[in-house]
Structure 1
Amino acid sequence: MGRSFRFVILGGGVSAGYAALEFVRLGIPAGDLCIITDEAVAPYERPALSKGFLLPEGAVRLPAFHTCVGVGAERLTARWYKEHGIELLLNTQVVSVDLKRQTLLTSAKETIAYLTLIVATGARVLRLEEFGVTGADARNIFYLRNLHDATKLVEAMQSCSGGKAVVIGGGYIGMECAAALVSNGVHVTMVFPESHCIARLFTPQIATFYEDYYTRRGVVFVKGTVMSTFESDIDGKVAAVVLKDGTRLPADLVVVGVGIRPNTTLLEGQLTMEKGGIKVNGKMRTSNSTVYAVGDVAAFPLKMYGDVRRLEHVDHARKSAAHAVESIMHPERAKDYDYLPYFYSRVFSLSWQFFGDNSGECLLFGDLKSEKFGAYWVDRGRLVGAFLEGGSKSEYAALAVVARKRPMVEDVQLLAGQGIKFALALCEATSSDSLVSTMAATDDERGAMAAVASDLLQHSGFKVGAGIVVAVAVSWVAYWYGRKKWRK
């Protein structure tokens, strides 16, 4: 027994939803696409689990965060897939993939054939059992990766108000879960081996700001160590977490966020692997011409840095999926994937965004005490990364422009002194909307804008490309000509 489709998406996470929307936008006929997922619901925005689902008040629930609401697009409920003739196989586990025969076999012994396969299997959480931790299967130990995990954690928090939780791991999930626990009235201790939180991105100075903020909310940090074992009660539940140095931390529940691993098992030995994932080219195509890989599982060429990376973030999951579909449907016009790394987080009243790369020297700007500050990273004389806490929509957009353009830097102290003003000025100079905003301004405002542009292009210590200078000049000439016409 089996069925066949022109396109099959293996996996039902964020990437699957965005790929489906792109297929529909490009006019895929009904009956051509099948999505296979072991989850019980249609694809949803996974970040909502830690940023909204766990909140004690105003918590989000499905169908509110089905894809693709993360970018303000349509909300793809199960009904949407049916209306567009897309086969959505829920609660379906694929046990094997045969790339030579172009088939997938489900646990129900059904064979699904395809012409083109998109691998969107995402990643799985690393569990403590894999590290040989005794008692790691206790029912009051929680992970957060999918809707089922989030639902269990919510139930545990609601029954544990005033109790104690230990969060193991100081990355994104650990920090966001700790914030949710505190918001639910749970006392939190965080344990991680690094010297500071989110060590893969934050510098010690940046991390100190967030750790101090959490400390004021009652979170206790135990850094530079790892857990050794659990103490259990007579019911088999964790009663305490014992650290490597013998420290005992009482716990009513434990949340673990120690990393994830790409789900590549079904494809190993059949596709070329790299960086722990499936190697793809700039079109997201794998070593097999009929197979594409997207999201967490794809090791792709990061064009702007000239290397291969595997990124675990929702923004890449969305964009790589759409890019793969365009490459499949219109290979003649699809360009190579040119992705700008982007990460963000929202906890308590805080919100930060990061663009680019965090290599080289980090230059802080702003006031950490005011809860609005940022940083630039300069590597070999070039600005390669930008971070901002508490920014506005336009300020974050400006950071993205700076991180993509990567201007040369001659005076790092001047850059730190200019801070976000530098990004805003460069964004204004390169924006396609700069002419419109200039024409709408008063004479005094135009004079101020001209001064900013002049300072940027001549005195800031940055080597801005000739193209930017030309763009600014053209804008001013167009303004002058248009104003002259309007006065006639």
Structure 2
Amino acid sequence: MGIVIIGGGQAGLQSADSLRTEGYAGEITIVADEPGLPYQRPPLSKDYLTPGKEALPLPLRGEAFFNDKDIKLLRGVSATAINRQARTVALADGTTLPYGQLILATGTRNRTLGCTGAGLPGIHGLRTLADAEELHAALPAARNVVVIGAGFIGLEFAAAARAHGCNTTVLEFAPRPMGRALTPVMGDWFAGAHARLGIDLRLSEGIDRFEAGEHGRVAAAVSTTGESYPADLVVVGIGVLPNDSLALEAGLQTEDGILVDARLRTSDPGILAVGDCANFPHPLAGGRIRLESVQNATDQARHAARTIMAAAGGQAEATVYADLPWFWSTQGPYRLQMAGLAHPQDDTLVLGDPAAAKFSVLCFRDGFLTAVESVNLPGDHLAARKLLAGSARLTRHEAETEGFTLKAAAKSLASAPA
């Protein structure tokens, strides 16, 4: 019995690729519930929606990859059940796949609204290629766009809608945008930045209901304050939920995702989970965390392959997963990059020029650097990743030294004797 991977996204594809790189010679089957070749999701809310740009998805791997690596890709079919005793996976088309090892890379699904009118035509989510194709076709004719949620996806789409010339309103129930992911200083800066783009960002204001027009399509969004906003196109971006129902129904431990140990194994040692669906322990989090990022998906996939190969080689324990998290978001002219895990209570230090949209926010906990947020400074971001991944710990006192730069500090670290 070979290895079955459920999920055709970044984590699933990288798991298969890394297994071959690590020397696995058995059968590998990927079960992907979308019909085409697996594609990159991040550009769907960014470059894919750029005015005048052709709607072409970016494949994760070309067709030849699957032949060259001898990987079987089952497209457009979903897994419906896992039988852990028989070591089989049931598929929606009635077939059954045996497995020696199983990797769950099931990703996430969009949270949905339950308010009045949430199902009206003209209201969209943005998760899949099909979602992005619908929005790509709808944006050129849209005039009044309302976005529900000021997270990364919501603000990326809002910037794209504004670039199309749409009147764009964002409703966010929280007091600042991207509040779960960013420091208050960076969140407040982005609130002002989107206002300068001409986006009407309504903070501490959620959605109460949607109202239809004479043709039955959405025509207005009414907020929790009672204000009514005209809307011929609505995008809902209020976060995601992990796809953990298969794991739960199979008797695996779940809690905000599929629970795995530090080596990415579930409560069944024959099953691993990676990527957005996996809830794992991480030293930077001080406990368990579930991360939604390409970096985490690919790094965990590589680690899962090593865990499987270590067990196959008779090694009792593989190394633990502790890779540095990093993220990015492009919102109009602003390229936001983050390294490490920032907490709202972190002590912060701003380097650079916020007025010129080129600056970094350094986050300190107990006096030591724990995360860096950068806008339009890729050099700072790369330097921060080197510093945070190294063994040396940067202090706030060192960062406040006259002439300090992240790039110089990273260069000094690289040249220091081991």
Question: What TM-score, normalized to structure 1?
Answer: 0.80
Name the SS of the counterpart of 1:36 in structure 2: strand
**Residue of 164, 170, 176 corresponding to 1:196:** 176
> Counterpart of 1:387?
373
Quick check: 1:52–1:60 contact (8 Å CA) kept in 2? no
- Structure 1: distance between partners of 2:39 and 2:355: 36
> Counterpart of 2:159?
179
Opposite residue 187 of structure 2, the aligned amino acid is A
Deviates more, 1:224-233 or 1:359-368: 359-368
Matches within 5 A, 1:81-120: 81-120=66-105
> Counterpart of 1:139?
121
Quick check: 2:369–2:396 contact (8 Å CA) kept in 1? no
> Counterpart of 2:385?
400
**Residue of 294, 311, 322 corresponding to 1:338:** 322
- Structure 2: distance between partners of 1:229 and 1:159: 23
Name the SS of the counterpart of 1:268 in structure 2: helix
Displacement of 1:108: 1.7
- Structure 2: distance between partners of 1:196 and 1:33: 45
Distance 1:233-1:215 versus aligned 2 partners, 3 A rule: same
* Residue 42 in structure 1 maps to residue 28 in structure 2: no
* Residue 57 in structure 1 maps to residue 52 in structure 2: yes
Displacement of 1:107: 1.7
- Structure 2: distance between partners of 1:379 and 1:418: 21
- Structure 2: distance between partners of 1:94 and 1:357: 33
Name the SS of the counterpart of 1:430 in structure 2: helix
Displacement of 1:314: 1.2
Quick check: 1:52–1:59 contact (8 Å CA) kept in 2? no
- Structure 2: distance between partners of 1:386 and 1:200: 15
Distance 1:398-1:36 versus aligned 2 partners, 3 A rule: same
> Counterpart of 1:77?
62
Displacement of 1:417: 5.8
- Structure 2: distance between partners of 1:153 and 1:377: 37
Name the SS of the counterpart of 2:100 in structure 1: strand
Show CA shifts across 1:178-218 (max 9, x none): 01111222210000111111111333332233222222222
Quick check: 1:365–1:416 contact (8 Å CA) kept in 2? no
Quick check: 2:247–2:254 contact (8 Å CA) kept in 1? no
- Structure 2: distance between partners of 1:200 and 1:381: 22
Displacement of 1:354: 1.0
Quick check: 1:166–1:189 contact (8 Å CA) kept in 2? yes
- Structure 2: distance between partners of 1:273 and 1:232: 39
> Counterpart of 1:475?
none
- Structure 2: distance between partners of 1:272 and 1:250: 45
Displacement of 1:402: 2.3
Opposite residue 95 of structure 2, the aligned amino acid is E
Matches within 5 A, 1:301-320: 301-320=281-300
Structure 1 vs Structure 2 CA RMSD: 1.9
- Structure 1: distance between partners of 2:380 and 2:408: 10
**Residue of 277, 300, 321 corresponding to 2:280:** 300
Distance 1:316-1:158 versus aligned 2 partners, 3 A rule: same
> Counterpart of 2:301?
321
Matches within 5 A, 1:462-481: 468=416, 470-471=417-418
Matches within 5 A, 1:251-330: 251-268=231-248, 270-274=251-255, 276-330=256-310
- Structure 2: distance between partners of 1:191 and 1:263: 26
Name the SS of the counterpart of 2:14 in structure 1: helix
Quick check: 1:16–1:43 contact (8 Å CA) kept in 2? no
Show CA shifts across 1:376-411 (max 9, x none): 11111221111211113x432211122234625263
> Counterpart of 1:66?
59
* Fraction of identical pairs, as percent: 31
* Residue 425 in structure 1 maps to residue 405 in structure 2: no
- Structure 2: distance between partners of 1:97 and 1:370: 53
Quick check: 2:284–2:340 contact (8 Å CA) kept in 1? no
**Residue of 122, 125, 131 corresponding to 1:149:** 131
> Counterpart of 1:347?
331
* Residue 217 in structure 1 maps to residue 197 in structure 2: yes
Displacement of 1:26: 2.6
Quick check: 1:364–1:416 contact (8 Å CA) kept in 2? no
Opposite residue 350 of structure 2, the aligned amino acid is L
Displacement of 1:280: 1.1
Q: Would you identify which runs of 4 or more consecutive aligned residues in structure 1 move more than 6 Å?
A: none
Opposite residue 130 of structure 2, the aligned amino acid is H
Question: What TM-score, normalized to structure 2?
Answer: 0.93
Structure 1: gaps (5+ residues): 68-75, 435-467, 472-488
* Residue 362 in structure 1 maps to residue 357 in structure 2: no
Name the SS of the counterpart of 1:205 in structure 2: helix
Opposite residue 390 of structure 1, the aligned amino acid is N
Opposite residue 277 of structure 2, the aligned amino acid is V
- Structure 2: distance between partners of 1:291 and 1:369: 50
